[in-house]
Structure 1
Amino acid sequence: MNQLQALLAPVLSLASLTDHLQAIVTVLSVVNPAICGLLLAQVEATKTQPKPLADATRAALVILAILVFVALFGMRLLQLFGVSLNAFLVAGGGVLAWMGFSMLSGQNATSSSAEPATVAEASLAPVILFAASPGTITAVISIAVSHTPSAFPITALVAVSIATLIAWLAMWLFARFGASKGNGFGRDMVTRLMGLIVLAMGVQFALTGFTSFTAGG
């Protein structure tokens, strides 16, 4: 009983509740459940037999597993390879910007004709890569380092769990009610708009990391 109280004390204190709320908002902003939902709706619209609930659940579980692992071991891995958070943010922002540019130029929406089974297997990758992007990973690592009173990153894990739950709900709702095959023009416009947002996020992450890195942060 004493061990349970000691574990829950950091979670239930007023200061910790404020930390949890700030961390949840931060992770939600970088995971961006709305865009995750639109991406999954785009994926479901290209399938002959859409499975919104199954695909949303599978994507959410993979995202949760990645972010929980990052919260627990991310900083140690970066230190093991001698990589700073700022350098990781610059490189990761570049990858995210490249993904956004591919979506903006329409390369994402033109590969749905051949090998439908292979496409169905690989189609969740853009959703997962966006939700668990380098920016998200950096944010989770930063929260785990700065808001952890003990060796166990409770605040980061709470934020990751709630953000993933909201993302799962958004993905299922968007995919369930938005996965229509009839409006190809609308899907293409939404994809390009999302690509612009992803591109801007990647540039933002890279510039932030580069500025901090050159400033010696």
Structure 2
Amino acid sequence: MGGHKKTTVWVGMNDHIQAIVTVLSLVNPGICAAMFAKAEAGRSRGSKLTDAAKAAMAILVILTVAALAGARLLHLFGVSLDAFMVAGGGVLAWMGFSMLSHQPADSEPDAAQSLTPLIMFAASPGTITGVITLSAAHSQLKLPVTALTAIVVAVASTWLVMVIVACLPGRRHGGGFLRDTLTRFMGLIVLAMGVQFALTGYHAFVQKAM
């Protein structure tokens, strides 16, 4: 009995860790920090800190709404969770492949002085799909604790990185090689997670059909 409880706790922790890594990879605090540094170049430290909080709050609201309402919208439109996991897994796999082959610098906005590109990048359709997929996979239309936990950790990490950037001298935008390597590593994780979601959804769909 005790062994079964330990196994259940371990599985739950593993789900949370898996979800956190997935959402962190999709939000990508490293690229968000680079975009934030470019958009906030020349502004005072106080303004940077305020904008970092505003950006983090916007990302948090968008992803939280997706986690809470996404699965219910699927249910409303008659889309099964298994089918959405297959589709969502495909989107995540495509995003992961794009991160592996894409130059991260191209994701940074050419026009500075705007946080909109940063927010749209962090809370992109791919990230929203990942959040809804996590919510559908672990909540079964109940409160998506796993997805919400992953969102809070990812947004808090992104906010912290932006705060660090705001407190540093804004003269250099180095670290391109490290940022590119990190992005490609995260892309591999997202690709693997997308394949796993798609296969899990397909397996469940086939089992129910039989």
Match of 1:173 in 2: 160
Match of 2:97 in 1: 101
When residues 29 and 204 of structure 1 are mapped into structure 2, their CA distance, relative to the original with a 3 A threshold, is same
Asked if the contact 2:90–2:194 (Cα under 8 Å) also holds between the matched residues in 1, the reply is: yes
Q: Please show how residues 79-158 of structure 1 align to structure 2 within 5 Å.
A: 79-112=75-108, 114-116=110-112, 120-129=115-124, 132-145=127-140, 153=142, 155-156=143-144
Tell me by how many angstroms 1:25 deviates: 6.5
Tell me by how many angstroms 1:210 deviates: 1.5
Q: Please show how residues 1-217 of structure 1 align to structure 2 within 5 Å.
A: 26=15, 29-32=18-21, 34-35=24-25, 36=27, 37-49=29-41, 51-70=51-70, 74-75=71-72, 77-112=73-108, 114-116=110-112, 120-129=115-124, 132-145=127-140, 153=142, 155-156=143-144, 161-177=148-164, 181-216=173-208
Query: 2:132 & 2:205 partners in 1: Cα distance?
Result: 17
The RMSD of aligned alpha carbons is 3.4
Tell me by how many angstroms 1:84 deviates: 1.3
Where structure 1 has 5 or more consecutive residues not aligned to the other structure, the ranges are 1-18, 147-152
Deviates more, 1:172-181 or 1:85-94: 172-181
- Matched letter for residue 125 of structure 1: M
1:2-50 Cα deviation digits (max 9, x unpaired): xxxxxxxxxxxxxxxxx99987873563243643433432432443436
Task: Give % identity.
Answer: 35
Tell me by how many angstroms 1:108 deviates: 4.0
When residues 41 and 63 of structure 1 are mapped into structure 2, their CA distance, relative to the original with a 3 A threshold, is same
Asked if the contact 2:33–2:162 (Cα under 8 Å) also holds between the matched residues in 1, the reply is: yes
TM-score, normalised by the number of residues in structure 2: 0.69
Query: 2:146 & 2:109 partners in 1: Cα distance?
Result: 39
